[in-house]
């Protein structure tokens, strides 16, 4: 058994003062030193935001495009200082006219010589699309079962755009379903753990109530032993993102 620190953050694309936000994201990564970082809303055009973040920090970057724009793509990314053995991009079920979403899968070499299947995703954001998100998490659970066989402990992280009480999140935790462990419920500080909160000036502009919508889930023998909010310290009026991130220490 060994400990692996993972983190997840919705990057909010290049909105706001991106060069200043980039400095804050990189500073937090230096402070936390996670081995694996899942990122969502990562823009890639002439340059890739994930590569900008990873520069000089020792991470390999794996990118999964999800939504195409005239100027480039938005998607998910994994930063890993563990060897990436393989990776795939899987398109989530999405209705016509809705932004395409994706699941990034990467198999990484664990510190003890084993293998860790890592999944990074970002679900539909619209409040009335709970049924669509449920279809997406069912798709994710099926793919994770296929790609994490033989007792390999899957780690799933990202922005699920759904609170812990919703059917889509309950499905992931149900023993009759994937039976995944919610790292915050298992190893957080007992608070609500809101990752989209009006405490954050960028989130406050959206006028929504505080919610916990960003998660780290684990399966198999991967056990969360600590979880805390991260990427939540501003510099003046600049915040790392409109979301807070989550960092968790896992025993795998």
In this predicted model, what pLDDT tens digit does every residue of 31-75 receive, in sequence order? 999 999 999 999 999 999 999 999 999 999 999 999 999 889 999
In this predicted model, what pLDDT tens digit does every residue of 149-208 receive, in sequence order? 777 899 999 999 999 999 999 999 999 889 999 999 999 999 999 999 999 999 999 888
Inter-residue contact 4 to 252 (CB < 8 Å): yes
In this predicted model, what pLDDT tens digit does every residue of 2-41 receive, in sequence order? 899 999 999 999 999 999 999 999 999 999 999 999 999 9
Domain region containing 43:
3-251
Confidence at residue 245, expressed as pLDDT on a 0 to 100 scale = 98
Residue 165: CATH number of its domain: 3.60.10.10
- The reported pTM is 0.97
Write a three-state SS string for 27-80: HHHHHHCCCEEEEEEEEECCCEHHHHHHCCCCCEEEEEEEEEECCEEEEEEEEE
Among the listed residues 217, 98, 198, the one whose alpha carbon sits nearest the alpha carbon of residue 153: 217
CB atoms within 10 A of CB 163: 15
CB atoms within 10 A of CB 67: 17
In this predicted model, what pLDDT tens digit does every residue of 93-151 receive, in sequence order? 988 888 999 999 999 999 888 899 999 999 999 888 899 999 999 999 999 999 997 77
In this predicted model, what pLDDT tens digit does every residue of 197-247 receive, in sequence order? 999 999 999 888 999 999 999 999 999 999 999 999 999 999 999 999 999
Inter-residue contact 88 to 117 (CB < 8 Å): no
Both tokens of 226, joined, read: 């600590």
Among the listed residues 202, 199, 251, 208, the one whose alpha carbon sits nearest the alpha carbon of residue 229: 199
In this predicted model, what pLDDT tens digit does every residue of 65-91 receive, in sequence order? 999 998 899 999 999 999 999 999 999
Considering its fold, how many domains does the chain have in total?
1
| SS3 call for 20 | helix
Confidence at residue 125, expressed as pLDDT on a 0 to 100 scale = 92
Q: State how far the Cα of 32 lies from the Cα of 239, in Å rounded to an integer.
A: 17
Among the listed residues 117, 118, 160, the one whose alpha carbon sits nearest the alpha carbon of residue 138: 160
**Letter string b/e over residues 48-61, b meaning 16 or more CB atoms within 10 A of that residue's CB:** bbbebbbeeeebeb
């Amino acid at each position: 058994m060994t400990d692996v620190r993972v983190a997840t953050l919705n990057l909010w694309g290049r909105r706001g003062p991106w060069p200043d936000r980039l400095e804050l994201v990189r500073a937090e990564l230096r402070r936390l030193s996670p081995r694996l970082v899942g990122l969502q809303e990562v823009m890639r055009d002439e340059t890739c935001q994930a590569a900008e973040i990873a520069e000089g920090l020792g991470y390999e970057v794996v990118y999964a495009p999800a939504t195409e724009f005239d100027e480039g793509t938005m998607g998910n990314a994994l930063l890993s200082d563990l060897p990436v053995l393989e990776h795939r991009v899987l398109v989530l079920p999405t209705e016509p006219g809705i932004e395409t979403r994706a699941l990034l899968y990467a198999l990484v070499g664990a510190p003890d010589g084993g293998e860790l299947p890592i999944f990074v995703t970002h679900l539909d954001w619209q409040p009335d699309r709970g049924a669509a998100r449920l279809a997406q998490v069912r798709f994710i659970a099926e793919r994770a079962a296929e790609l994490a066989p033989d007792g390999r402990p899957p780690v799933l992280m990202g922005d699920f755009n759904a609170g812990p009480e919703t059917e889509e999140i309950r499905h992931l935790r149900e023993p009759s379903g994937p039976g995944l462990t919610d790292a915050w419920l298992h190893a957080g500080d007992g608070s609500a753990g809101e990752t989209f909160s009006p405490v954050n000036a960028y989130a406050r502009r959206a006028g929504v109530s505080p919610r916990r919508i960003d998660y780290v889930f684990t399966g198999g023998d991967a056990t969360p032993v600590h979880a805390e909010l991260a990427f939540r310290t501003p510099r003046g009026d600049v915040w790392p993102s409109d979301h807070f991130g989550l960092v968790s220490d896992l025993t795998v």
